[in-house]
Structure 1
């Protein structure tokens, strides 16, 4: 079969299954990326969620022996929430980042990649494929950049002319020698807004991120959050969009295209206080279908507690006291103690002094003492 003719068919088919952009790249090793990844590891800038083997991340033939091309796809997701509920005193709300609105994007992308693979195998004799999304070995952004989906912005996101950086990415390695697309010119130019507004200074320089300081990463960790980052969370309970919302290339990019990604307002901006006592079953029923639930409820509950402290929400103190007294997880008890002190309501001192008398865990005692320091 003629490869160019089949490539055209594949582009057309991609449109019919709801893929917003498709591009083709060589499966040659990602030499520049390899050096950057090695440097990231040396500096301890990686999150730990990604594949640790640099060879696997940069050499497609290790993943598919006869690899000749990589097919990159992008799906646009919304940046705007219609009828977003407003938090208020006594009913404060948290926020999930836009990439966690609607159905889990891993499911949506895998479904489309599976259809593409099926189309390839049915219509191109001898065509072999291996697909991946997010947690796969290859760097989705490096593949998308090479395939002309968009350019790699200073905020480390792929930025497309059509949808801004609000795109999910996935790819298929194949043994078919597709004609590669041209990479795009970098259009960030002298702009450095994302670098200037990053709340924790996680963007070290254009295109370099220290994931250990990135709020999007920190909201997904399970331990006690270091003190210096707590005040930067605001009401974020999962992810961070600051470096995207400030980007001029995202202006007026609402991307209300795929209904499956439309936010459910009460899920995307949930009330904070009910999160503190939600059962595992309730959590799974309400939040289990979104990507922001992948780490379980513990990090989200911890972040919700910090958010209540951010708002100095005195009405939440009875619930926080209940958590401090009864929750069996030291991280959550500690967060509650810190928040009670930070809010500094009428009962805070008595609650923390009483907790100090009975608490056995060192890490929780430390948080109680931090809470008391806000009051004294």
Structure 2
């Protein structure tokens, strides 16, 4: 069995898939993002916050690096219920946010395959979505999310530099998913008009300044145009994914994963400091990585409750 087969097998045991690029492509990944920025596909604040820090050259702390390994890990949609003023309200966590346990399993799988074969890895700060498309692991949807076979957009990407040589020098053109050709559900279900068509290639870009996720991931007051009734997740947004025909089967038979009683709900929306929450409530929030976003969770939950009242 080759090391590539070992890698695929170990990752498949935890439901993951991978793609691989030659390490020299890291420069082109950054250049492509820069060109998109120059063309106006990203606003300056989004570029500075998310893209400026990405690697533009092969890693100096691993001069022997030969490849970039991009991994897709499947993640579920998490449904939560909250008791508030005698009624039950629902708020979800989109796939992407509950990832920490998956990352641990991925590192162990890499150790059992690459590590056992004498190879090293280090974290890669690259544009994950673009890299996944360029290596053939994923394709773009009209909503500008990546879609992976068997996972839809319900996944999270992670990347590593490796001393493993890429078996071939892949550089696949950015592709739009075939299912998007005659579809517009994601655009139609986006209440803010976030998705804007590009002039060529059938692609759409997401205008970050109109994206609900941008505002509910960051602290502060929501803009007036972002009505409370538009909030649909305790962090992030599910509008374009919940309407997607490719993703819709992954949302069938969703059960409530966690129940928050009225006392717990009140403790959250009153912005009780995290350290002062009950041990049981802290455990619930930490289980779904909501402790990481607790600086915005009280505000977001209030918006959902008020928007559904």
After TM superposition, the score normalised by the length of structure 1 is: 0.65
Choose the corresponding residue for 1:199, options 191, 195, 211: 191
Aligned to 1:230: 227
For residues 66 and 302 of structure 2, the distance between their equivalents in structure 1, rounded to whole angstroms, comes to 50
Aligned to 1:300: 297
For residues 154 and 42 of structure 1, the distance between their equivalents in structure 2, rounded to whole angstroms, comes to 16
How far the C-alpha of 1:234 sits from its partner, in A, is: 3.5
For residues 11 and 91 of structure 1, the distance between their equivalents in structure 2, rounded to whole angstroms, comes to 47
Q: How does 1:210-229 map to 2 (within 5 A)?
A: 210-229=207-226
| 1:174-232 per-position Cα deviation (integer Å, ceiling 9, x unaligned) | 13222246858532224232123212122233442222321122111111111111335
How far the C-alpha of 1:242 sits from its partner, in A, is: 0.9
Aligned to 1:332: none
Structure 1 pair 226–25 and aligned structure 2 pair: CA distance change class (3 A): same
SS in 1 for 2:188: helix
Aligned to 1:23: 19
CA contact (8 A) 1:113 1:131 kept: no
For residues 302 and 173 of structure 1, the distance between their equivalents in structure 2, rounded to whole angstroms, comes to 38
Choose the corresponding residue for 1:138, options 101, 115, 126: 126
Gaps of 5+ in 2: 198-202
Gaps of 5+ in 1: 257-261, 313-376
Aligned residues: 288
For residues 139 and 14 of structure 1, the distance between their equivalents in structure 2, rounded to whole angstroms, comes to 21
SS in 2 for 1:229: coil
For residues 175 and 254 of structure 1, the distance between their equivalents in structure 2, rounded to whole angstroms, comes to 39
After TM superposition, the score normalised by the length of structure 2 is: 0.78
Structure 1 pair 242–60 and aligned structure 2 pair: CA distance change class (3 A): farther
- RMSD, aligned CA: 3.3
Q: How does 1:311-326 map to 2 (within 5 A)?
A: 311-312=308-309
Choose the corresponding residue for 1:77, options 62, 75, 78: 75
For residues 182 and 43 of structure 1, the distance between their equivalents in structure 2, rounded to whole angstroms, comes to 26
Which structure: greater helix fraction?
Answer: 1
How far the C-alpha of 1:105 sits from its partner, in A, is: 0.3
Choose the corresponding residue for 2:285, options 284, 287, 304: 287
Aligned to 2:44: 44
For residues 107 and 47 of structure 1, the distance between their equivalents in structure 2, rounded to whole angstroms, comes to 28
Aligned to 2:114: 120
